[in-house]
Amino acid sequence: MDISFKIDVFKGSLTCQCKYEKCDICTSHFYLNRDFTVKSIKADDRYFSTSSSLVKLDVLEGYLVRKFEIPKFSHTLIIEFEGYLTGDTGCCPYVKETINEDFTFIRWETFCYPMFIEDTQDSLFKYLTVSGYADISVEVPYGYKTIASEKLTSKKENIFYFNDHKAAKYNFNCAIAKYKELILPTGIFYLLNGSFDSDMLIEVMDFTSKYMNSHFGYRDIKSNTKYVSIPDGYGSFTCEENDTIFIQQSTFSSKKNMNQIIHEFTHLGWNAKAEGTVSRSRFFDEAFTSYYEMRIMNALEGKEYYLDLYSKTWNEQMNSGKYKEIPIHKFGEYEYGDLSYTAGAICLYELTNIISETIFDNITTQFLNEFKNKATTFEDFCNFYINKAKNDKKESVKKLFDDWIYSCEGFKKYIKITYIPR
Ligand SMILES: [Zn+2]
């Protein structure tokens, strides 16, 4: 299948032509962004009705999309559409898209191109039923760069082609702007307009890379990792398959804000593997990563205010009424992964208070090696640190895990509940 976008950043609109073979499609309808108009649906050599209905997708919390029926065809189907992206059709609600002169963001989650999803959906990701791979091209005005979640395979004048046949195609994201490219030893930075201090960026990235490699084991983070600046409010995220990190531009504005890029960087190499409910607790990625973030920021700034910051946010979370007091090992079961950024990181901080940072770093390096390809569990984690702790610390470490991982006893030191539990 072929998907060709043409972006008019000055009008805020896009036009697109999608071409499918019979074998590409396995539903009798497709969904599209509600602000788009289909110009034509051509099946084999005949044109068909372009009428649609607005429907709610429950799997995206009532997100409104247009639904089109697909006529029967035996060879090719060509869909042409156009529309505006104003940023108002965001879903999830953190997924925003936009087309404008300063910044354009195309995200598959906002249905910027036809989505072939079964009606019996209980999970959007599970039911993206299009198989095969698309060749995607994006035409932009001269002077603009397109950086995508997919690998750029070629560029002809102002058209960018993406067709790395190894990657799943139906989660295409791209950012378009007059990016300034900065190549550093730690990666390629695509920066938006506005002031930034490149010396500071070099210093912080270099510091972070050296800190992580020397404290938690050496990782060969690719020097062509792309850091793509996006405006604040668009939400940072990482596309690991293509070594691309979309990161909010405020992170580049001061050393104090560099924590965001430090956080994403440490995700690239220093998280143990976890699966299913254990993974959804976010302990083995977000608790560890937030803890690294705290260590690096404290070392960079020579101040220790991250513990207070996390403790304050955790108190806000617990007083929002959204969470019950549940021990860390049940965060996955209750979908409380958000608490790992605060409670989880503080639990690791408490652990270093018992065994010392040096010993913690040493055990963590071994733990990350052990569970690099093998999925860990909370039991593995607790046993690993208890076994490797010095003899006179084993009892205290065990008590810490009982109080923090398996009960909420440890939380009392930090949490002042001021709300009335439901
Ligand atoms: Zn994270």
Give 11 Cα–ligand 1 centroid separation in angstroms. 35
Cβ neighbours of residue 289 closer than 8 Å, sequence gap 6 or more: 263, 266, 267, 270, 271
Amino acid at 6: K
pLDDT of res. 165: 62
* pLDDT greater at residue 394 or residue 304: 394
* CA of residue 185 to ligand 1 center, whole Å: 23
Alpha-carbon span 206 to 183, nearest angstrom = 13
User: What is the band of 218 on the pLDDT scale with cuts at 50, 70, 90?
Assistant: very high
Using the Cα atoms of residue 206, residue 208, residue 214 and residue 219 in order, give the sign of their dihedral.
Answer: negative
- Using the mean position of ligand 1's atoms as its centre, give its distance from the Cα of residue 392 in Å: 34
What six digits make up the tokens of 276?
A: 């299913």
- Pick the more confident residue, 307 or 418: 307
263 Cα to the center of ligand 1, angstroms: 6
Amino acid at residue number 332: G
What lies within 8 Å, CB to CB, of 32 at 6+ separation is 38, 52, 65, 66, 68, 81, 111, 113, 114, 115
Q: In whole angstroms, what is the distance from residue 344 CA to residue 327 CA?
A: 10
Ligand 1 centre distance from Cα of residue 86 (Å): 28
Distance 286 CA to ligand 1 centre (A): 5
Q: Is the pLDDT of residue 195 over 70?
A: no
Give me the CATH topology for the region 2-176: Immunoglobulin-like (2.60.40)
Contact of 13 with 83, CB cutoff 8 Å: yes
pLDDT, tens digit, 9 for 90 and up, residues 318-376: 999 889 999 999 999 998 999 999 999 999 999 999 999 999 999 999 999 999 999 99
Report how far ligand 1's centroid is from the alpha carbon of 149 (Å). 18
- What is the distance in A from the centroid of ligand 1 to the CA of 285? 7
Q: If you measure from the C-alpha of residue 21 to the centroid of ligand 1, how many angstroms do you get, rounded to a whole number?
A: 39
From ligand 1's centre to the CA of 289, what distance in Å? 6
CATH architecture of 276-413: Orthogonal Bundle (1.10)
255 CA distance to ligand 1 middle (Å): 19
Query: Starting at the edge strand that comes first in sequence, how are the strands of the sheet with 46-48 ordered?
Result: 46-48, 36-43, 76-84, 13-21, 2-8, 135-139, 159-162, 152-156
Is the distance from CB of 106 to CB of 5 less than 8 angstroms? yes
How close is the Cα of 291 to the center of ligand 1, in Å?
Answer: 11
Please tell me the distance between residue 273's alpha carbon and the centre of ligand 1 in angstroms: 14
3 CA distance to ligand 1 centroid (A)? 31
* Ligand 1 midpoint to CA 364 (Å): 18
Which residues are within 8 A (CB) of 261 and not within 5 positions of it... i.e. 6 or more apart? 204, 205, 227, 245, 247, 251, 252
Distance from Cα 391 to the centre of ligand 1, integer Å: 34
How far is it, in rounded angstroms, from Cα 286 to Cα 307?
15
Higher pLDDT, 84 or 116: 84
Q: Is the pLDDT of residue 95 over 90?
A: no
| Cα-to-centroid distance, 36 and ligand 1 (Å) | 33
**Considering the chain, what is the average pLDDT of its residues?**
90
Q: How far is the centre of ligand 1, averaged over its atoms, from the C-alpha of 38 (Å)?
A: 38
CATH code that applies to domain 181-267: 3.30.2010
Q: How far apart are CA 322 and CA 204, in angstroms?
A: 36
Ligand 1 center to residue 416 CA distance, Å? 26
Q: Residue 365 has what pLDDT? A: 98
Q: How far is the CA of 17 from the centre of ligand 1 (A)?
A: 36
More confident residue, 234 or 314: 314
What are the tokens at 214? 């020397």
Q: For residue 416, what pLDDT is reported? A: 85
- Are 3 and 135 in contact, with CB atoms under 8 Å apart? yes
**Does 294 have pLDDT greater than 80?**
yes
Q: What is the mean pLDDT of residues 399-416?
A: 95
- Rounded to the nearest angstrom, the distance between the alpha carbon of 341 and the centre of ligand 1 is 8
Q: How far apart are CA 355 and CA 399, in angstroms?
A: 13
Give CA angle at 390 (387, 391), nearest 5°.
85
- Selection from 120, 76, 84 nearest residue 11 by Cα: 84
How high is the pLDDT of residue 237?
Answer: 84
Where do the domains of the chain lie? 2-176, 181-267, 276-413
288 C-alpha vs ligand 1 centroid, how far in Å? 9
Between vectors from CA 323 to CA 319 and to CA 325, what angle results, nearest 5°? 95
265 C-alpha vs ligand 1 centroid, how far in Å?
Answer: 9
Kindly give the distance from the C-alpha atom of residue 310 to the centroid of ligand 1, in angstroms, as a whole number: 14
User: What tens digit of pLDDT does each residue of 117-168 get?
Assistant: 877 656 566 555 555 678 899 999 999 999 998 888 899 999 999 876 654 4
Q: Does 169 score more than 80 pLDDT?
A: no
pLDDT category at 259 given cuts 50, 70, 90 is very high
Q: What burial class does residue 153 get, using C-beta atoms within 10 Å of its C-beta: 0-12 exposed, 13-18 middle, 19+ buried?
A: middle
